[in-house]
Structures are given as structure tokens and as C-alpha cells.
Amino acid sequence: MNTNFSSLPLRGELLDNLASLNFSTMTPIQAQSLPLVLSGKDVIAKARTGSGKTAAFGLGILHNLDVKRFRIQAMVLCPTRELADQVAKELRKLARQIHNIKILTLCGGVPFGPQIGSLEHGAHILVGTPGRIEDHLVKGRIDLSELNTLVLDEADRMLEMGFQSAIDAVLDYAPQDRQTLLYSATFPREIDEMAAKVMRKPEKVEAEEQHDDRSISQHFYQVDSHAERIEALKTLLLKHQPRSCVVFCNTKAETVDIADALHFDGFSAIEINGDLEQRERDQTLVRFANKSVSVLVATDVAARGLDIDELDMVVNYQLSHDPEVHVHRVGRTGRAGNQGVACSLFTAKDAHKLIALEDYTNAQYEPETLPSVDADARPVKPSMVTLRIDGGKKQKVRAGDILGALTGKNGIQGKQVGKINLFDFCAYVAVEKSVSRAALNKLERGNLKGRKFRVWLCK
């Protein structure tokens, strides 16, 4: 199989842009699904976050787009605002050399007003969460009469999060004569049921996981009680000293309990679950991604939208009920050529889960003895902190403005500034902990776009 993008019948602007981005070879999911997408077929594709799936459906959308027709021609439904933002950003990058394309993001957790204004000005592509798009459709703010491509991205998580009725409602507004693309990290039975209702003779593709199993060191530890489980987690964190670790739990209540217990013992830990408000969720993910927090305690659903290449360690605090989900969790570490560690805790009552996992992966997992830890071992402390600025894209604040304000006269060094994340009404910047006070003072006393904004340290 020829895996070069140049082998595809893509419009010239897309091929030129891919070359400028140094995208020459397709990932497995792109090589398997993109030719089918370009031929107009409905496609069901198994692909995890970070596999290149957005380009797989995004290039198909952009290739078929008629920019001169200022109507909604494609729509991507995503389970979370974070994933929708990622998808929209990737589509804009892929479309750089096609002028005048309007891509609009519509998600919950933000005010309706600005979205209504944007819809009145029209768009070619909508990216958003099912609930918010349904709200706009019901109010008559969206016209899908010229929709030709519908994408259900991370469909399994949308179903898990209870979006089935919202998806059904959105589909009622969509034309029957359309191409439907479904991308999912796992294939539960409900996926086939959904596909049977909304797709026409879909082609099913499944790409091999991109990570090399040899880059991930898996370990299993048997515990006898809840108290032993939490102590085992602390022992593993002290032993491996990860700068970035996700602890997966099966319930929202566990995420809070575990994060509190870790924080009490001096670990840099924070939880994320479905009960968080959107602003809290954004801030939590930003702090973890920019290395201001070392341990993220999360449910599977809440961790979606988290795409971090350098994740040192994954801990399955509880084994997942689904072996496929376990593999997906573990695959988040050991990416981009890095070594990763995956540790799983289980009790005697979890034996059936372990057997199911061994059957699914065709491997055997022998329980190990917990490692010993030096008496003077202490939790890893992040080297970065995060500052929140009460101004964002709607106030025309750009990353360059923030960097310039920090590094200007008598400022900190550029190398002491980490990731900068811009949202509509706020921005976050990571700085080295040693210069956090200086950075805070510089932003408080200085100007951004000729204005002063409130700035504070995220804790």
C-alpha cells in the first residue's frame, strides 16, 4: 500500500499545504480510511486519540468543500469541548491554503450570545457537542439542508456520556443523502446499533495501535483492600517519580477521594470528572498539560480530549470492565518514541477482568511484588506554575502579546515561559515556579493590547 499523501486524489491546495507541514506519510488510520472517505463511502473506523484520525476525516471534508457556497456543508460531533477545539484547530491548519473557509465551534459551557452572532454570519463547517448543536437546531439557528458530510468523532464516548438522544435529534435535521463517518476508540455493541440506523453500507476499518508495546512497561499488583490500594498508588508514584501521570478510576467519587488523599500526602494531584464546570475542566486540563500538576486522577470519559505526547506513566487504580478500554488507557503512555510505564492494581474479586484482558490481548500478566521505596523519597514537585489572565481571543489577546509582556524590559527569560493556552475570554500561561512572582507582577503592572487584565495564580 502506498502511504504517501501525494498518492491520493486530493486537491492541489491540500497537497501543497501538507508538504509545507512536512506531512508526507499517512498514519495507519489515515492510510486505511482516507481513500474510502475520498471515494464517498460511509466509514466506521477504530482509532484512538493521537492516531491522526482528524486529518483522516478532515482532508475528506476539505477536499469536497465548495468554498463559494457559503452554507454548512460538513459537521463534526464531538463528546467534549476540548476535543471539539482540537478538531477545529486541526481543520484550520489543514485548510490554510484554501482561502475564506469559515469553521465554527459550537459547544456547551459557554454563552449562547457570541455563538448566535457567529451563526448569523454563516459557516462552511460546524464542530461541536451534540447537546449545544441540538439547542441551536431547535431554535432554527442552523440550516443543514446542504450538509453533505457528518462525522461522529469518538462516538463511543458520546454514547457513554448520554448523548444518544441529542445525536438522534441532530440526525433528524440532517439530509438523508449524505456521507457519514464514525470514528471510535472502542467498538461496543451500541456502535453497531448506531451505525445500522445512521449509515449506508459502511466500510469498517481498524488500524493497529501506533505505539510500540516494547516502549510500554506493564506491571500488575494485587491488593486486598481500599487502604492497600491507595498506599500501593503512593508507593508506585514515589518509585517512578513521573512528571506526568494519569490515574484512571471507574467512578467520579473515586477521583475526588484519591486526589484528596494524594494531595494530603504532598503529591501534586488534581481530579477531573463529569461534575466539573467547563471553566474548572479547562483549567484542570491546561494545568496538567503544561506540567503545573504532576498527577491527574480521571474517569475514562473525563480524560477524553487529553492528548499529551509525553505522558510518563498511567496507573489503573481500578481495572476497567472493558479490556479494550484498558488497552486504550495504557496506549496513552509510551508515545512519540518515549518510554512509558503502565501499572494496574487489582483485587481477588477482579480476577474475571484480568482473565478477560489476557484473552483480549493474547498475553499473560503475572502479579508482581510492589517495589521498595527509599525512606527519603519525596513526591515530585512540578517545576512550572500556571497564571490565568482574564482576557482571551475575544479581547484580541494573542500568545505573542503574553510572551512579549513577560519578557519585555526587566522581564523574565523566554526559556522560562512554557505553554500558552488561549480561550475566548481568558488565557493561561505556564512559567517556571522560580519566577512565578516576577511573572505575576510583570503581567499585573503591564498592558496587553493597551489594557490591563486581572491575573492570578491557579491553585
Alpha-carbon span 41 to 145, nearest angstrom: 20
Query: For the chain, which ranges sit under pLDDT 70?
Result: 1, 49-50, 208-215, 302, 304-309, 334-338
Q: Which three cell numbers stand for residue 402?
A: 503574553
Task: Give pLDDT, residue 235.
Answer: 96
Alpha-carbon span 114 to 135, nearest angstrom: 14
CATH number at 384-457: 3.30.70.330
Alpha-carbon span 237 to 239, nearest angstrom: 5
Alpha-carbon span 193 to 76, nearest angstrom: 20
Q: Which three cell numbers stand for residue 66?
A: 465548495
Domain boundaries, the chain: 5-206, 213-361, 384-457
**How many CA atoms are closer than 13 Å to the CA of 57, on its beta-carbon side?**
31
**CB burial class (10 A; 0-12, 13-18, 19+) of residue 72?**
buried
DSSP state of 367: B
Task: Give pLDDT, residue 77.
Answer: 97
Task: Give pLDDT, residue 446.
Answer: 83
DSSP secondary structure letters along 168-184: HHHHHHS-SSSEEEEEE
CATH class given for the domain over 5-206: alpha beta
Q: Which CATH superfamily is domain 213-361 in?
A: P-loop containing nucleotide triphosphate hydrolases (3.40.50.300)
Task: Give pLDDT, residue 209.
Answer: 53
Alpha-carbon span 252 to 315, nearest angstrom: 16
Q: Is there a contact between 265 and 238 (Cβ–Cβ < 8 Å)?
A: no
**Sign of the dihedral through C-alpha 55, 56, 57, 63:** positive
Task: Give pLDDT, residue 332.
Answer: 77
Task: Give pLDDT, residue 185.
Answer: 82
Task: Give pLDDT, residue 429.
Answer: 96
Q: Is there a contact between 71 and 146 (Cβ–Cβ < 8 Å)?
A: yes
Task: Give pLDDT, residue 210.
Answer: 47
Instruction: Answer whether 5-206 and 213-361 agree in fold.
Output: yes
User: At a CB cut-off of 8 Å and minimum separation 6, what does 170 contact?
Assistant: 77, 130, 133, 134, 137
pTM score, whole prediction: 0.69
Alpha-carbon span 178 to 163, nearest angstrom: 21
Torsion angles phi and psi, residue 332, rounded to 5 = -80, -15
